[in-house]
């Protein structure tokens, strides 16, 4: 048997988790035929059939279930090698959402000036891609708001962030020091498409006493533009994220009573405990 490439193992693990070649290709950001070719090549290399494929479904064979466990262990070990090598090179790859916050500013200073200095590299990715990149060893850690438990990762609750209402400057609540969500028009609630940040979306919906009736408005930037154009509309964001999205067209108002969202540091299971501890310390208030 020739050397098995890590890429082929990563493709196989993704297909095994999705049990669907099309969804696996979307997660991997490649075309479906490339996934099929890699899986077929891996099966030839190993001399076993890993997946049963029909026109209706994909299932793991007994050999596929055994190889899946070994493949995850191999990818985790490769991720650990990258982390250890990264420590010496003082480079720390952090998956973040598309905004700059005061917390990030503080953390970058802590990481650069700490007892084990590191040079952070911020990588902007949607939440699903962030988590995939951590699991595959392409990121050292990711930041996520809202409860999540993706396979192959360790998730540590690190901070809490209050939610703020975001309204147009003409909105009746714009000048208040606090607003009860129940005093806002439920028909005005506008949220981003869940696909951009599933964990945060689910946490916000679970925390609010109202349910959005309007269709999603695309990504968070489009939501903020839509709110700024409509004095009846409103949305909610974690306070840090809202502050990072300053605009003369919108105002942020704290919720009263307060509602908070949990923030998490996500790492690979292969990340040494000492590294995880240092990450958590850096991001804790």
pLDDT tens readout for residues 55-92? 788 999 999 999 988 888 888 777 666 665 554 435 78
d(C-alpha 227, C-alpha 150), whole Å = 32
- Predicted confidence at residue 1, as pLDDT, reads 41
Q: How far apart (Å, rounded) are the C-alpha atoms in residues 21 and 83?
A: 30
Q: How far is CA 164 from CA 61, 95, 235, in A?
A: 49, 23, 8
**What average pLDDT does range 158-181 have in this prediction?**
92
Confidence bin at 100 (pLDDT 50/70/90): low
Q: 196: Cβ–Cβ under 8 A, 6 or more apart, which residues?
A: 126, 127, 219, 220
Whole-prediction pTM value? 0.66
Q: Where are the beta strands (DSSP E) in 54-109?
A: 58-60, 91-96
Domains and CATH numbers, the chain: 6-79 (1.10.10.10), 90-285 (3.40.190.290)
Residue 245 confidence (pLDDT): 63
For the chain, the average pLDDT equals 84
Q: How far is CA 7 from the centre of its chain?
A: 21
SS3 210: coil
Strands 141-145 and 91-96: parallel
């Amino acid at each position: 048997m020739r050397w098995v490439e890590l890429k082929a193992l990563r493709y196989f693990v993704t297909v095994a988790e999705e049990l669907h070649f099309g969804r696996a290709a979307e997660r991997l950001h490649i075309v479906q035929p490339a996934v099929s070719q890699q899986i077929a090549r891996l099966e030839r290399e190993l001399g076993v059939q890993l997946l049963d494929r029909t026109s209706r479904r994909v299932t793991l064979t007994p050999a596929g279930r055994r190889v899946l466990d070994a493949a995850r262990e191999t990818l985790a070990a490769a991720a650990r090698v990258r982390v250890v090598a990264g420590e010496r090179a003082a480079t720390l790859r952090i998956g973040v959402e598309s905004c700059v916050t005061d917390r990030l500013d503080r953390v970058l200073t802590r990481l650069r000036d700490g007892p084990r200095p590191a040079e952070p590299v911020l990588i902007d990715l949607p939440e699903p891609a962030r988590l995939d990149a951590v699991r595959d060893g392409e990121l050292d850690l990711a930041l996520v708001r809202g409860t999540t438990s993706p396979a192959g990762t360790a998730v540590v609750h690190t901070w809490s962030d209050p939610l703020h209402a975001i309204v147009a400057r003409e909105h009746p609540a714009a000048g208040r020091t606090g607003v009860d969500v129940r005093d806002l028009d439920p028909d005005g609630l506008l949220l981003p498409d869940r696909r951009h940040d599933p964990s945060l979306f689910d946490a916000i919906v679970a925390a609010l006493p109202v349910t959005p009736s309007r269709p999603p408005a695309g990504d968070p930037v489009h939501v903020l533009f839509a709110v700024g154009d409509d004095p009846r509309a409103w949305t909610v964001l974690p306070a840090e994220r809202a502050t990072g999205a300053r605009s003369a067209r919108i105002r942020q108002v704290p919720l009263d009573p307060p509602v908070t969202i949990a923030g998490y540091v996500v790492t690979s299971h292969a990340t040494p405990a000492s590294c995880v501890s240092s990450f958590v310390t850096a991001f804790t208030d």
